[in-house]
A and B are shown apart, each in its own frame.
Chain A
Amino acid sequence: MITRRLLFLDTQRLAAYAWRRGKLQPEGVFENGVDELARFTDYLRAHPSSHFWMLVNVGEEGYELETIPFLQGGDRQALITRKLGQHFLGTPLNTAISLGYEKTKRKNEKLLLSALTNPAYIDPWLKCLKEAGTALAGIYSLAQLGSRLLRKIGKTDKRSLLLTCQDHSIRESYLVDGNALFSRMAPLADRSIAGIASRMASEAVKLHQYLVGRRMVARSESLPVYILAHPLAASAIRQACNDTPSLRFEILDSHHVAQRLGLATLPDDSRAEPIFLHLLATSAPRQQFAKPVHRHDYRISQIRYGLLGLGGIALYCSVLFAIKQLYDTYDLRREAQTLVVTEQELDWRYREIAATFPQIGIDNETLRRVTNRQSELLLQQRTPERAFRMLSGALNDAPNIQIDAIDWALGDEPGQPAGTVAPAKGGPRLDSRTETVTLRGTVRRGPASTPRQTLETFEHFVEVLRVDRDNDISVLQQPIDIESGRALRGGDVDDDSSRPRNYTVQIVRKLMP
């Protein structure tokens, strides 16, 4: 857990406080001296995991208004750095606050440049912080917090003066639109209530005159003046501060303000440090005076806690995710158990019904497959009988045709010579839908027959075969070869006409179921 610690540096000493849940706990006061600085370093080292905020209340402050051209990014930053260097040479403790852009065509940017102009006074303390490796979040001025204070308690005047009392001084700030355009510190010699009251009244008038003189306030303008005071001092201050046409005084009860801001430890006197420190702890301004080199250890600390935060968030998310997954897992397992029970019940019912079937030691799926395949195979259980009957009928109509050989085979392939059938690769294929019959024979006519008559006899035989529409007839060899592409021989020898003429016919038949 990061503890917030607050350092209040004024012109004489540095006071350290611990801030926890709206409570300010004083932890030490350190004077500006060698021994005290060493003690301060020891104090810092004793709190290595704390983040420190430093609030500075010194007289050496500078405020300048500046206008720069409309720029962005690195160019703007470089110009602002140059302007800060021009106005506040020699102090690194400076900052710039943007006051917005002019509503002209060029959109120039208005800046409030401010700085702590006596860095030598703050440096020893910063060295202690550096030496102890302390995480310094930032350096702030009282003036920066003044506008924030008024806004928090609902005072939203466009221009106003704020006067607060510190240990040995009065801080007076001129606030415009939530920004301190000018602030100064006046020493407070008489710290009695009457002394504070009279000093407040006089300082308000002096500040107004100064602002009028610098033309920061119009002479006729009426300014509200807010004075933060202890309840016991409020009436005295009220009496001392008489309203004028230019100044309207309003006393802010410090206890009431502290309660509005959530400060648990109420101020004991008119000093405003506790209120400003609490304000710093709860809502520090974005702009501050420390440079990156001063805040290096703060950044390191942020990285350290960032790493832990990252790991913690990852673990936290994974735990949430794991809880959800475990719940889902439990749900799924329960669902699976229910399914198992249901499945067993259904299986039992199935077995009960299946028990009424004839028991042959084979499951239904296998039985189905085996019997289906048997049906397919039975369809292939053919004989040449139908082919022989078909041929017998054809021969009755063609008595001069003689058959010498019948080659019958299942399938589209022409009948292979018997004895050469080899099982197909991976076993025989028993899925034929056709049968093939190859006929080899002769045409026998009388000795006086002419080739024309022989051919007519053969063609008649083929026509008879074609009567059956299931037959697809191919003549592989004609009894007399009269094709143009082949030689045709003949003569006047009688034996030639009486010689048997060989033919070959192939019939492919569709198988009937």
Chain B
Amino acid sequence: MKIEPRDVGKLRWHALIAVALLAAATALTLWSTAGERKARSERDVEAGRKAQTEQRLRQVRTEEDEIKERTQRFQQMELAGIIGPELRLDWTELLRDLQHQLRLPGMTYEFGPQTPLETVSGAGYAYHSSQLRIQLRLLHEGDLLNFIERLQKEAKAMVLVRNCKVWRLPPTTVATDAAQLGAECMMEWVTLRRTSGTQRP
């Protein structure tokens, strides 16, 4: 069968109606499918949230002791001044006090800028570190060990020694202050502070 030009007029309205019906059918299908998909997605989100809460609830009983212990540790860190902004003034005072108390013949130091130790997404707590380069003049190597021990106990930060070099001073310099040894150490002074957003070192 061959469609002639005059047939087009006969088919025009029916074709348009058919197209309109097909369009309506497609629109109805898409609309209902989109609605169903959205509802399914919302249901899945709620199911996930419920599962998460359920999991938290299951754990909370067994974690009670653990949380309490961790809380105590956190509070101890707060008391030790590890949490919060760096107390650099306190740090320098501590260094000076220790030098006097241990009778160290000489000391020079330099704190570097603070850098983050980790990346935290969103608001949360993150560890940060400031590097200390310190040079000491010592009577003997025990002075260095005592100095480090006191720093780690008393500093308002977590003090991590990265390296230390101890050397014998040349005989010509010994006479001035009785120092026998020279020492140079690199330390990380770690503190914990709240961040307001994503941080990238």
Contacts and interface: CB of A to CB of B under 8 A. Distances in A.
Q: Do A and B bind each other?
A: yes
Interface in A10-41: none
Interface in A331-370: 332-333, 335-336, 339-340, 342-343, 346-347, 349-350, 353-354, 356-358, 360, 362, 364, 366-370
B178 interface: no
Contact of B70 (A325, A354, A371, A382): A371
B39 A329 contact: yes
B32 A408 contact: no
B72 to A, nearest CB: 8
Contacts of B201: 426-427
Nearest to A333: B39
B87 interface: no
B145 A388 contact: yes
Interface string A294-310: 00100110011101101
B188 A300 contact: no
Interface string B102-140: 000000000010011110000011010101010100000
A321 B192 contact: no
B7 to A, nearest CB: 5
A268 interface: no
Interface residues of A, number: 80
A357 B60 CA distance: 10
Given A315-B21, A421-B162, A428-B117, A383 B28 contact: no
Contacts of B148: 383-384
A373 B160 CA distance: 14
Contacts of B18: 307-308, 310-311
A405 to B, nearest CB: 4
Contact of A405 (B39, B112, B159, B165): B165
A513 interface: no
B174 interface: no
Interface of B: 1, 3-4, 7, 10-11, 14-15, 17-22, 24-26, 28-29, 31-33, 35-36, 38-40, 42-43, 46-47, 49-50, 53-54, 56-57, 60-61, 63-64, 67-68, 70-75, 77, 112, 115-118, 124-125, 127, 129, 131, 133, 135, 141, 144-145, 148-149, 152, 158-168, 184-186, 188, 190, 192, 201
Given A332-B42, A418-B163, 19 more contacts: A303-B11, A315-B25, A317-B25, A322-B32, A342-B50, A343-B53, A349-B57, A357-B68, A357-B71, A366-B124, A369-B125, A405-B168, A415-B163, A418-B135, A418-B184, A419-B133, A419-B186, A421-B163, A428-B117
21 contacts: A300-B11, A305-B14, A308-B17, A308-B18, A311-B20, A322-B31, A332-B43, A340-B46, A343-B49, A358-B71, A358-B72, A367-B74, A369-B125, A370-B125, A374-B77, A381-B152, A381-B159, A382-B160, A406-B165, A409-B163, A418-B184
